[in-house]
Amino acid sequence: MNKKLLAVIFGAALMLAACGGAKEETTTTKTGTTTETATVNAEKIVNSKCISCHGGNLEGQGNFPALNNVGSRLSENEILNVIENGRGGMPGGLVTGEEAKEVAAWLAAKK
């Protein structure tokens, strides 16, 4: 009798744990998707507006500095400043507002 009861309780606990686990997984997946969307967005912007000068893999070319490691040289704010205001041969205002921030954050992570 007691064993049976224990088994039922144990079984219920397992089911609860399984449900909890599944829920957590869904949340994780959702967060991952959101982050990915932002990344894809920044990447898309860079791929359409920046690679003509900075190289298809952001590896830099000629007088255009590489951006694939720019995070090791400049902070996110400094990158944002270059994007918004330009610097030397770098035209400012190619990307503005939220998009500029997203791109700056994305580039700042490239080290």
Give me the phi and psi of 57, to 5 degrees please: -110, 20
Which one of residues 91, 93, 96, 109 is an interface residue with ligand HEC (CB under 6 A)? 91
Burial (CB count <10 Å: 0-12, 13-18, 19+), residue 53: middle
Q: How far is the CB of 100 from ligand HEC (least distance, A)?
A: 8
CA-CA-CA-CA dihedral for 43, 46, 47, 51, to nearest 10: -140
Residues 38-77 that bind ligand HEC (CB under 6 A): 46, 49-50, 52-54, 63-65, 67, 70, 73-74
Residues that bind ligand HEC (CB under 6 A): 46, 49-50, 52-54, 63-65, 67, 70, 73-74, 79, 82-83, 87-91, 94-95, 103, 107
